[in-house]
Structure 1
């Protein structure tokens, strides 16, 4: 198989999206990467991309020949049929030295032009530039190393291509957003999410345009197919991107967090200490009201049959991905997932909303991600959500109203599984709606256990939870540190402590609800607990040997077997049945 296209920087955010799009179009693609190929191939596997047409080659654009060998090199012979060359390689970071930035963004880009000129059947070189490259001359001190290098490369690539007769098309994208984009504007969204964005840079009129990654990949893939794009440059961005205050308000509303009301002029930000503003000086040049000449790109997209997704939809989906992947600190949960409005609460919901076989509600101080191991092993449609005020969800007025609203779209009769605090809403819903529930599983129900003193209940509890390092707190609670990632968010620790106090006070009432559900005999109820954290003596329960209060984290195989058995849906050969 001889590749007809090559993508440099194929493992990067833009490059991998382009590779996936070319493969979807049944192109034969050489993905040029520097470093392990697994970074690209694992991402493509997660996208369910058909990689039959993929060849991965090692390359280093900072050296002449790109590390691919000369015209007679063994690796180069495999690339003789390449007709379309895409340069998506770039060093995108702030705080670089000028030498670091130029090595990839200027020298590397020119090396790609030189290599493309040696392709006997070259149809097009597509070079990805920046969207702020026009206008003012390069000023290394004012621009910063990254932006200065992109400006320099934009001009140098055009000159070299003309000298060598290389058919060139330049694309100038704005901030490309999509799954896996954790830099640039993403840092502002993270500050918003964590309550660290008291004011916005710039003000009304500030324009930070975006373009969705899938659309941008389709745009690039289409360029070589149209001869008239040779020698052209296209500013690719969504003119409908809201101005910065409205953009941040849109995302804040979607995430269920307050948007900042104050703005700070850029000229003032430049004078304030960085320790106070937390703003990298290099990013401030992007805070402007400049607009861009997008008409040629829009006209080409129309001819090519390309349509941008609605920008609000793209921003909300991207924000879901940022929060789901902890802004790059972890892997996103199994989809679908994102924020939904549930009984007035912006609620983090994961899984199947209409036809789940199981509904999983977590306990303290966890979130829906704590069920990931259980979800994977169940292997059927599952619905999980962060309880209101916990994890990533905003508070709600009534936990029971929230549970009813969460389950309102459900059309199946699922098994409801609650862990610890989550046992309460599960039980009360089953009592109120027995015809909509197949069975109830209570995992480590705190209301059936003697108070353990595991959590502090004094007024010092909130600052103690906030101050304690996550690894120490996780060790004390017996959970991984990443399972309590959101305890540092504003109000999170206070809500956890309040929920513990309310659950402790409501123990007798919840026990009465359990007794009534059992007496009615309309919904089967099973109690599952760890042998190290058993319910009160005399309570019938399936015990998981060696487990404590969080069997979903420590013993998922045994817990899944118990859940399946309780719902009458046991596997023929459970992997490791619970022992009781």
Structure 2
């Protein structure tokens, strides 16, 4: 084998395997359980050069294929670990990999992944916690044993590695920011928490075996903004409020954790220290590697964190992300269908229907709802901005409250859409329940679990409802949902009158359990046994009707 990678199912390990395979290398992936191959397949990686082997590095290693280059990316990365649990992988495991590598007659290099805060540090378990202290102990032990056995060793000391799939560490701070649970930043204004992207780090690791042995490389982006600026940039991208205050680390340590919400083990990372990156920069320059701008990388990672609900869900459509202050999924330029959700849902409402549609879609979260930030723009101006980059004449499909803005757009811009589809148009149905007129409506909505929300809406409890419930718990979203319902109720008569002016084909779809309350002289499809959300409960039937009326190519 050209290389063997231990810890190949981990965040760093799997990306390194993909990089090495992409370079045409024959790679052995040492794993406990093979979750690697499905991930590589999902990334479109050619696995022809891959051999997966079972290995437990907490025990002496035998029976593995010989390799020229050995990478140890295995680590138990978590806070709150017990000492023995952390040492089993991070210390004993690292030494077992080294002892096995020392037996390889063709060994060119052992690459050990350490850390930018732990290299040559004293393993103080009481002060640092089990994870960081065990990594510091491993760093010292691997260096010493490699000298004894004359093993050609290179150590990589990465900072916080970010990218799709990284949901711990700095991700916890971003999650608190997203959910309005970060009133102040721990640390001072000069805290430096550097990052490096997983793609860059994987390419860097692949270059190490050809570099001189015996080197340490601190791999991080020196241009990473200081922590308050970093958080402000991410907050601005996500459309949430950044904390304006900082709290000294010493004070955070003294306060109860239930007040600060800070894990004591993370506090040692809040430092103003800078790091010796000259050797890593020199190697990168020789290899032609270039880091992406730190702020751009952080924004792209924030998109992934929000799309995956910080590791709790899988995105149902790509591309996705914040476009300006609007969260959207799909094709912003050539969609066949533009899908506007109703309340109290978000764009995930369309996931079941999209599986039945041909052609690309564009599905945003309405402004101030779901994951989109609020805006001072009127809804009609927001929709015009959304449609401005569109180069097709898509079917404009709207649900419930969104039917009003969609209708107004079709009246004002008939040449921009091929068809207007109104699903359960609120302005033609019975008024919303009294809940929307109650002063307690927003607090009640915010406290709803996914199960209770599903029961209230009369739909099955599924990922779409769980997604909506998660958004409703974010600051201000439930209040804006209720405000939008009240505004739509006030516009009912105006919206009805516009039906006489629309010049594009119009199709209305309702569920038999939620019929129109007002008669209209337009085609109406009633779906049996469906309620207010037929695209969620009966997506195939809705898709068949859309196939009859849409003309996506303009």
TM-score by length of 1: 0.91
C-alpha distance in 2, partners of 1:455/1:178? 42
For 1:85-140, what per-residue CA distance to the aligned partner results, in whole angstroms no more than 9, with x for missing partners?
A: 11111001111111011000000000111111222322211111111124542211
Select 2:91's aligned residue among 103, 106, 125: 106
Of the structure 1 ranges 328-337 and 172-181, higher mean CA displacement relative to structure 2 is found in 328-337
Shift of 1:31: 1.7
Distance 1:555 1:405, change over 3 A: same
Answer yes or no: is the 8 Å Cα contact 2:337–2:552 preserved in 1.
no
Select 1:42's aligned residue among 18, 24, 38: 38
Answer yes or no: is the 8 Å Cα contact 2:428–2:518 preserved in 1.
no
SS at match of 1:377: coil
Answer yes or no: is the 8 Å Cα contact 1:362–1:387 preserved in 2.
yes
C-alpha distance in 1, partners of 2:215/2:182? 40
2:406 alignment counterpart: 426
Shift of 1:507: 1.1
1:55 alignment counterpart: 51
1:482 alignment counterpart: 466
1:578 alignment counterpart: none
C-alpha distance in 1, partners of 2:458/2:23? 48
C-alpha distance in 1, partners of 2:241/2:552? 44
2:422 alignment counterpart: 442
Shift of 1:193: 0.5
C-alpha distance in 2, partners of 1:483/1:282? 31
C-alpha distance in 2, partners of 1:501/1:386? 19
Alignment of 1:135-146 (within 5 A): 136-146=121-131
C-alpha distance in 2, partners of 1:455/1:428? 27
1:302 alignment counterpart: 285
Distance 1:253 1:415, change over 3 A: same
Shift of 1:475: 2.1
Shift of 1:537: 6.1
Distance 1:568 1:250, change over 3 A: closer
C-alpha distance in 1, partners of 2:336/2:434? 33
C-alpha distance in 1, partners of 2:211/2:432? 73
Answer yes or no: is the 8 Å Cα contact 2:394–2:552 preserved in 1.
no
C-alpha distance in 2, partners of 1:156/1:433? 70
Select 1:526's aligned residue among 507, 522, 535: 507
Select 1:200's aligned residue among 172, 182, 185: 185
Select 1:535's aligned residue among 510, 513, 516: 516
Distance 1:379 1:159, change over 3 A: farther
Alignment of 1:177-188 (within 5 A): 177-188=162-173
2:263 alignment counterpart: 280
Distance 1:478 1:12, change over 3 A: farther
Distance 1:483 1:477, change over 3 A: farther
For 1:285-332, what per-residue CA distance to the aligned partner results, in whole angstroms no more than 9, with x for missing partners?
A: 111101100000000000011010111110000000000100111112
Alignment of 1:6-155 (within 5 A): 6-35=4-33, 37=34, 39-65=35-61, 70=62, 73=63, 76=64, 79-80=65-66, 82-134=67-119, 136-155=121-140
Shift of 1:508: 1.1
**2:333 is equivalent to residue 349 of structure 1:** no
Structure 1 alignment gaps of length 5 or more: 571-580
1:333 alignment counterpart: 316
1:491 alignment counterpart: 476
Of the structure 1 ranges 420-429 and 446-455, higher mean CA displacement relative to structure 2 is found in 446-455
**2:386 is equivalent to residue 406 of structure 1:** yes
Aligned length: 545
Answer yes or no: is the 8 Å Cα contact 1:208–1:244 preserved in 2.
yes
SS at match of 2:499: helix
1:561 alignment counterpart: 544
Select 1:462's aligned residue among 442, 445, 453: 442
C-alpha distance in 2, partners of 1:164/1:544? 74
Distance 1:544 1:42, change over 3 A: farther
1:213 alignment counterpart: 198
Answer yes or no: is the 8 Å Cα contact 1:454–1:477 preserved in 2.
no
**2:139 is equivalent to residue 158 of structure 1:** no
2:348 alignment counterpart: 369
1:573 alignment counterpart: none
For 1:230-285, what per-residue CA distance to the aligned partner results, in whole angstroms no more than 9, with x for missing partners?
A: 11110000000000000000000000111100100001111101110011111111
Shift of 1:33: 1.6
C-alpha distance in 2, partners of 1:349/1:260? 26
Select 1:243's aligned residue among 226, 231, 235: 226
Shift of 1:569: 6.8
TM-score by length of 2: 0.96
C-alpha distance in 2, partners of 1:455/1:5? 63
C-alpha distance in 2, partners of 1:126/1:443? 58
Shift of 1:203: 1.4
Shift of 1:468: 2.8
C-alpha distance in 1, partners of 2:137/2:281? 26
Q: RMSD of the alignment, in Å?
A: 1.6
C-alpha distance in 1, partners of 2:20/2:540? 40
Answer yes or no: is the 8 Å Cα contact 2:160–2:194 preserved in 1.
yes
**RCO higher in 1 or 2 (8 Å CA, sep ≥ 6)?**
2
Structure 2 alignment gaps of length 5 or more: none
Of the structure 1 ranges 409-418 and 443-452, higher mean CA displacement relative to structure 2 is found in 443-452
Shift of 1:476: 1.6
Distance 1:147 1:83, change over 3 A: same
C-alpha distance in 1, partners of 2:275/2:358? 48
2:369 alignment counterpart: 390
Answer yes or no: is the 8 Å Cα contact 1:325–1:333 preserved in 2.
no
Answer yes or no: is the 8 Å Cα contact 2:401–2:425 preserved in 1.
yes
2:274 alignment counterpart: 291
C-alpha distance in 2, partners of 1:117/1:406? 60
Distance 1:41 1:134, change over 3 A: closer
